[in-house]
Amino acid sequence: MVTFEEISPADFFYRNRDIAGFTNPVRAIFSALRELVENALDATDLSGVPSEVYIRLSHDNDTELGDDVYRLRIGDNGCGIPARHIPSAFGQVLFGSKYKLKQARGTFGLGGTMAILYGQITTHKPVNIVSSTGTSRIYKYALMIDIQRNRPLILDRTIQINKEQWHGTFIEFSLEGDYSRAMPKILEYLKQTALVTPYANITFVDPKGRLYKFTRVTTKTPPPPKETLPHPYGVDVETMQRLQRITDCQTMPDFMQKHFHRVGETISLSFLDFAGFIRTSDPKNLKGEDISRLVKAIKKNKKKGKNGFSHNLSVKEMQHFIRNTQSGNLVDFMKTHFKGVEKSVILRLLHAAGFIRTKAPRKLRSDEIVKLVRMMKKFDGFLPPDASCLSPLGEDLLKVGILKELKPEYIVVSQRKPSTYSGHPFIVETAIAYGGDIPAKDDILIYRFANRIPLLYDEASDICVKVIRSMNWRRYKVSPSMPIVILVHICSTKVPYKTVGKEFIADRPEVKKEVLNGLREVARQLQHFLTKKEYVARERRR
């Protein structure tokens, strides 16, 4: 007797919470903390003021529950959450503000909710949330999650006056955990977070009351990323259909320019022509007024520069061309009779003069949409993505952070140019820190970051570590027993995480290539330094 059921996304991640990083009490207390810290830092990055993040982990005083239950409280001075969205932000999985083409730590819309869900299933206590976006009100909620329905349950809500125009968010809840065994990972996470966020003040009070303070060493924050449009190379039929449903564009060139990244008029017309979506009249069907309009447009274009038309044309001459032409459409006609003129110029001229006809985007049939998408992948005239949607750390900030946390003798950093994988832009930054306070261990230390999040698990599966292990470090004069930290930071609108728990990065050839080249750059510079150092040491010995 086979019975069928559907489950909610909260139920799915409840049953498979190890897939989201909540495997056992040691791992869960780490995951809960990191998810909330990442939310706090995303929010403070948006607020434009230097980040303040406060974390308090204490034993839950409720002795009924046993001594492996903690109270986690985290607060930030970030942008806050609008009152009407607070319950869903924390009480619903697959709800959030980061489903955009813009770099952020958060991406799945479930991290914060999973932390609270884990707390709820181990202690059955509600979460308390206080938030304000800087308006005249501060909102306080007590929530639980209805896991089977993936909905928040609001137990209490109070409003108070926001006298100081405060903006930020405080979250407090109980959860089962094992801090003593999670502690090394938690402290390492905070230390590495402080390294890549040197403009943030991070304060952590642990269950024994010990205070860890990571103080900012700069108030300079990296320029914030801007939301971007999808890149043509990353589009599939589903994305295209969704755009078709919501667009108010009446023509295909408008549609291409309005909805895709770095598509201007010229590129949109060249592409649509390549893809076969441009229609123009048969020249022989042009009326008198059309022909004069065409001649006028050509005259106007002649003034515009050397790619334009090379001689003056009269209406009579044009009529003569038209009577004798073999071309069946205007684009072909213009290309044949003005051989020196580039096709893109012809298209732009015809478009400006109103001779280009395309189907209305909303009227495209589904086979036409499929053809459009396939052609978008084939057309090589699209510009590569610019990186305005990304916000790399930058060499200064990276150096400042490394200096503060590691105090090395020597630092070298490198930032690669933007690249893409599957239409998603990304930038790789690499750094090597040597000597100073860095301890010499029996293997080089590797720090991995993605969108400014430290990755601390599953090192062996991560593409950056695989690249590092595949390099021959001895040719750069590096031996594994040297006091060295290698750092890799990948930022992207879509970090190719292999897992929902954001543990490690998948093996994407484009990403692998950039990581390898970035590491070679800093390795070469380290080699210079080590060679010089060795030389100076030899000179001294004589």
Ligand X SMILES: Nc1ncnc2c1ncn2[C@@H]1O[C@H](COP(=O)(O)OP(=O)(O)OP(=O)(O)O)[C@@H](O)[C@H]1O
Among 31, 77, 113, 221, binds ligand X (CB under 6 A): 113
Give residues 65-104 in contact with ligand X (rule: CB under 6 A). 76, 78-81, 89, 96-98
- Which window, 196-204, 213-221, 361-369, 513-521, contacts its own copies (CB under 8 A)? 361-369
Give residues 49-108 in contact with Mg ion (rule: CB under 5 A). 106
169: partner contacted, choices ligand X, Mg ion, its own copies, none (Cβ within 5-8 A by kind)? ligand X
Among 21, 80, 87, 111, binds Mg ion (CB under 5 A): 111
∠ CA 385-107-504 to the nearest 5 degrees? 90
| Nearer residue to ligand X within complex by CB, 81 or 83 | 81
Does residue 446 bind its own copies (CB under 8 A)? no
Size of the site for ligand X (CB under 6 A): 22
Please classify residue 255 by burial: count the beta carbons closer than 10 Å to its beta carbon, then call 0-12 exposed, 13-18 middle and 19+ buried: buried
> Residue 159 forms beta bridges with which residues?
139
∠ CA 463-465-470 to the nearest 5 degrees? 95
Among 137, 160, 215, 237, binds its own copies (CB under 8 A): 237
CA 276 to chain centre: 33
40: partner contacted, choices its own copies, ligand X, Mg ion, none (Cβ within 5-8 A by kind)? ligand X
CB of 154 to ligand X, least distance (A): 16
Residues 467, 507: Cα–Cα separation, whole Å: 10
Does residue 182 bind ligand X (CB under 6 A)? no
Among 39, 169, 280, 492, binds Mg ion (CB under 5 A): 39
List phi, psi (to 5°) of 31: -65, -40
Give the C-alpha distances (Å, rounded to integers) separating 455 from 188, 241, 351, 503: 10, 36, 51, 6
What's the half-sphere exposure (Cβ side, CA atoms, 13 Å) at 251? 15
Buried (b) or exposed (e) across 378-410, using 16+ Cβ within 10 A? ebeebeebebbbbbbbeeebbbbbbbbbbebeb
Provide DSSP, 254-315: HHHHHHSTT--HHHHHHHHHHHT--B---GGG--HHHHHHHHHHHHHHHTT-TTS-SS---H
| Nearer residue to ligand X within complex by CB, 116 or 465 | 116
180: partner contacted, choices ligand X, its own copies, Mg ion, none (Cβ within 5-8 A by kind)? none
Residues 455, 457: Cα–Cα separation, whole Å: 6
CB of 256 to Mg ion, least distance (A): 33
Size of the site for Mg ion (CB under 5 A): 4
> Residue 482 forms beta bridges with which residues?
none
Among 5, 67, 289, 539, binds its own copies (CB under 8 A): 5
151: partner contacted, choices ligand X, its own copies, Mg ion, none (Cβ within 5-8 A by kind)? none
CB of 83 to ligand X, least distance (A): 12
List phi, psi (to 5°) of 250: -100, -20
49: partner contacted, choices ligand X, its own copies, Mg ion, none (Cβ within 5-8 A by kind)? none
| Nearer residue to ligand X within complex by CB, 46 or 352 | 46
Provide DSSP, 12-66: HHHHTTTTTT--SHHHHHHHHHHHHHHHHHHHHHHH-SPPEEEEEEEE-S-GGG-
> Residue 139 forms beta bridges with which residues?
131, 159
364: partner contacted, choices its own copies, Mg ion, ligand X, none (Cβ within 5-8 A by kind)? none
Does residue 358 bind its own copies (CB under 8 A)? no
Give residues 146-175 in contact with ligand X (rule: CB under 6 A). 169
- Which window, 119-127, 162-170, 207-215, 522-530, contacts its own copies (CB under 8 A)? 119-127
- What are the residue ranges of helices labelled H in 124-224? 179-196
78: partner contacted, choices ligand X, its own copies, Mg ion, none (Cβ within 5-8 A by kind)? ligand X
Give me the residues that bind Mg ion (CB under 5 A), please.
39, 106, 111-112
Give me the residues that bind its own copies (CB under 8 A), please.
2-9, 11-12, 14-16, 18-19, 23-24, 46, 64-66, 79, 82, 85, 88-89, 92, 94-97, 99, 108-109, 120-124, 147-148, 236-238, 242, 366-367, 369-371, 374, 422, 458, 460-461, 496-500, 506
